[in-house]
Structure 1
């Protein structure tokens, strides 16, 4: 009988990695009933599963600062191959997420890595969602892999140490977003400091990365984002300028006055973007809108340039004056930090 993904997850959680030493990792693999083959890139682990071999990630020289005696940082097991397009990848991730949630309960942590994954790896271009069932000494993670979602068993401390050390305040030092539940499993969890965008170019790049994959990420995670964005204007007012909402489609609303000429900046009306009516049923509130599409469809760069140009046309002087509404910080039971945007929250 074929082992389900939930059953595999249970076996991984119940395994003993022996501190992730050489001997401990070998005992872990043997205990799972899998084979071990040495290669130049690290051990390849034969699982006998139709989804292919697993991988052990050795601690390399530049990663030693995050480890404390571990020889390996993770065991990655492919669990659900999918076609390479964003919609197929997001659907495969969501299916595994639903199976694991039914078996293990809600994940302790959810988020999106952006350009910088654990230990500075880059993820797939379609999106980089992840979920973690945090534990001590090990954590189980569902992560977007190159060919489909992967289950990752990892020592908890190194991956969290790497994340915490990225909070150095330099632009783009942390990407994506990170959400955690108020749950006993998150006891002792640390949060790094963020960074602030210092130029409109940085804001444009950060928004482009965030918006380009957002519908794929939220579809995969089975969640939605509702993000108001405010602007501090020279007259001292701080009105809402934009509303970004995303579940299976990315929809943007703009509250700019006609004096800013939103149409020339790339905004349309409900007649041009009828899907937006499901979020904003009043055709004039907001008047200006964009339906950016579903997984794999948004042009993050074009959307970011439109938002930045509109904010500046409305009188927002600096990136520090563009503010993500605090309402966006809660996604269901998760408190979310939008590290990758480099914008203030208030």
Structure 2
């Protein structure tokens, strides 16, 4: 059993992460977790909601998630499925939360190396736990038998130590094909740490209202999540119609969300809500002045109007002759982001 002790107010995020990675969870049984807490130097406190480990950290105490009705079918002898430790507090706005997450990620990457998994939980975290409204980014240093995750928490980023199998079993079993069965996006490297990692099946949007809702959720949080994760997503969309499957729009998002429209000549993009570089000058750093002519600057963390953007994209696709949601195709180029192979589960759209 790990005997490292002494979590204090001055312990850095990196030092805490190293102690969690080195800790022995004892199979996540009651005795094993109590020994884990003792080894970390944290006091056990029972509350009506869940056990709390008193850490003495200014960001807050650690929380244990016991196995309940949402978790029981995914475990194999574990009594707990995660230990979450807040590591920083930030103002509630999306920009401050994304910056706090990014700062923690930089420090952890320096200490532990590049995470083997990254993504967004969307509106449903592991075991159906909801995340913050501004976005739900996460990264993982996958291991055996336990995995360390940096996750967006209620008031700031949290380090989560968890048994590897239950969370992955939960995710894999969501691939049932029903609309909205999985949200967010998931990316993994080809690092050997991901050997044996399973990937769930995807679901398909069956109506334009479903596409509108999925694009709303995706675009509204995207710049906050990409800022937090330190990535840039380039995502072309192709619209299949009776003329083929031409490029319809280009979504580019790093610290700001920009969308370019390649509309057919017989469309009036301005009537659909698109502007030019004169109206959206920030997009000049993404594209030249006249290619594409039509574009929109949707803003940085917390700024995109997800529903309005989603309705504009759907209206443009339908006006361009895209008759079914399955004919709106995410370009395969979007599947490769900073060394990660990414699947956009929450969109419900085909990739090709």
Short-chain TM bin: over 0.9
Match of 1:293 among 299, 320, 337: 299
Give the counterpart of 1:108 among 109, 113, 116. 116
Q: Mapping of 1:203-242 within 5 angstroms? A: 203-235=211-243, 237-242=244-249
Deviations 1:128-186, CA, capped at 9 Å, x for gaps: 00000000000000000000000000000000000000000000000000000000100
1:50 CA drift (Å)? 1.4
Distance in 2, matches of 1:93 and 1:205, equals 26
Residue 197 (1) aligns with residue 200 (2): no
- In 2, Cα distance between equivalents of 1:88 and 1:62: 31
Residue in 2 that maps onto 1:246: 253
Which position in structure 2 is the counterpart of 1:263? 270
Q: Kindly state the Cα deviation for residue 258 of structure 1 after the two structures are TM-superposed.
A: 4.4
Offset of residue 49 of structure 1: 1.1
Q: CA deviation at 1:61?
A: 2.2
Would you say the 8 A contact 2:187–2:340 is kept in 1?
yes
Which of the numbers 85, 95, 118 marks the counterpart of 2:126? 118
Question: How big is each residue's C-alpha offset from its partner over 1:188-214, in whole Å with a ceiling of 9 and x where there is no partner?
Answer: 000000000000000000000000000
Question: Could you list the runs of 4 or more consecutive aligned residues of structure 1 that deviate by over 3 angstroms after TM superposition?
Answer: none
2:328 counterpart of 1:322: yes
1: CA distance, partners of 2:299 / 2:94:
12
1:162 is aligned, of 161, 167, 170, to 170
Out of 156, 160, 165, which is 1:148 matched to?
156
Report SS of the residue matched to 1:260.
coil
Q: Is the 8 A contact 2:70 2:128 kept in 1?
A: no
User: What secondary structure does 2:177 align onto?
Assistant: coil
Contact 2:146/2:162 (CA < 8 Å) preserved in 1? yes
Aligned-partner Cα distance in 1 for 2:115–2:95: 22
* CA deviations over 1:8-51 (Å, ceiling 9, x no partner): 00000000010000000100000000000111111011001111
| Number of the residue aligned with 2:339 | 333
Q: Aligned partners of 2:301 and 2:78: how far apart in 1?
A: 38
Report SS of the residue matched to 2:71: helix
Match of residue 276 from structure 1: 283
Q: Distance in 2 between matches of 1:226 and 1:42?
A: 41
Query: So what's the TM-score if we normalise by structure 1?
Result: 0.98
Structure 1 CA distance, aligned partners of 2:295 and 2:319? 16
Q: Is the 8 A contact 2:152 2:158 kept in 1?
A: yes
1:284 Cα shift? 2.1
Aligned-residue RMSD, C-alpha = 0.7
Correspondent of 2:137 among 97, 122, 129 = 129
What SS is found at the alignment partner of 1:61? coil
2:146 matched to which residue of 1?
138
List per-residue Cα deviations over 1:99-123 (Å, max 9, x = no partner): 0000100001000011111001110
Is 1:90 aligned to 2:98, yes or no?
A: yes
> What TM-score, normalized to structure 2?
0.97
- Corresponding residue for 2:5? none
Provide the rounded CA distance (Å) in 2 between the counterparts of 1:35 and 1:271.
Answer: 59
Runs (5+) with no aligned partner, structure 2 = 1-7
* Contact 2:224–2:300 (CA under 8 A) maintained in structure 1: yes
Distance of 1:266 and 1:27 partners within structure 2: 59
What residue in structure 2 maps to residue 6 of structure 1? 14
1 CA distance for matches of 2:143 and 2:86?
21
Counterpart in 1 of 2:3?
Answer: none
